[in-house]
Amino acid sequence: MARVALVTGGTRGIGAAISKALKAAGYKVAASYAGNDTAAEKFNAETGIAVYKWDVSNFDACAEGVKKVEAEVGPIDVLVNNAGITKDGAFHKMSLEQWNAVIGTNLGSLFNMSRQVIEGMRGRKFGRIVNISSINGQKGQFGQVNYSAAKAGEIGFTKALALENAKGGVTVNAICPGYINTEMVQAIPKDVLEKAILPLIPIGRLGEPEEIARAVVFLAADEAGAITGSTLTVNGGQYMV
């Protein structure tokens, strides 16, 4: 029987690539999204992957959403915590709303989502949780104190949860992408991208969403049971740890 994977923020950008790659690898995939109905409907029509709408920063919404996914698709074996937002600004001008929104969606969602599936994974003696962090959670980034804090928190969350579940067949790992060729990065002015960003990347190009997706498929595999608490950097050599 095919394993079931749930990808948050799974209908656009990196999340869409992850959803597609998991389906191609033989998983039954469900993708959640927050608000872009048009993109989600297009994604569903193109891929046949089931889509579900809820706010990952809301614990009760996550509980209801996961319950629906498990009723319609099956018990979740693989959870990919990919959903994330940015609300950038220098810290001395940052509002409480900017802080809370990013921490809630990017970090709080890991608790909200993982809490819904961890008991089932432990009971079945199998589970894979993959958290999509960021290079900026490793090195920090000007104008992103909220985002960098959340993404660094994801790494700590990953390590602690991995320790708690290592003996139960449940692995927890993080992936830290660098600059990836998505809509968000494509929105950066071309001259800024070419003069200020690409020169910092040793391989000389942006990463592709599919390269992150392949890393997720690797960590989600049954054969990856000895890999837990790890942070996999996929940034073209921009930041090495």
In angstroms, the CA 85 to CA 83 distance is: 7
User: Measured at the alpha carbon of residue 96, what is the angle toward residues 93 and 187, in degrees to the nearest 5?
Assistant: 65
Eight-class DSSP state of 87? -
In angstroms, the CA 204 to CA 223 distance is: 32
Eight-class DSSP state of 207? B
On the 0-12 / 13-18 / 19+ scale of CB atoms within 10 A, 47 is middle
Contact (Cβ atoms closer than 8 angstroms) between residue 29 and residue 22: yes
Q: Confirm whether 179 is a catalytic residue.
A: no
Report the length, in residues, of the chain.
241
In angstroms, the CA 34 to CA 61 distance is: 11
Which residue is catalytic, options 52, 147, 179, 239? 147
Known catalytic residues are 147
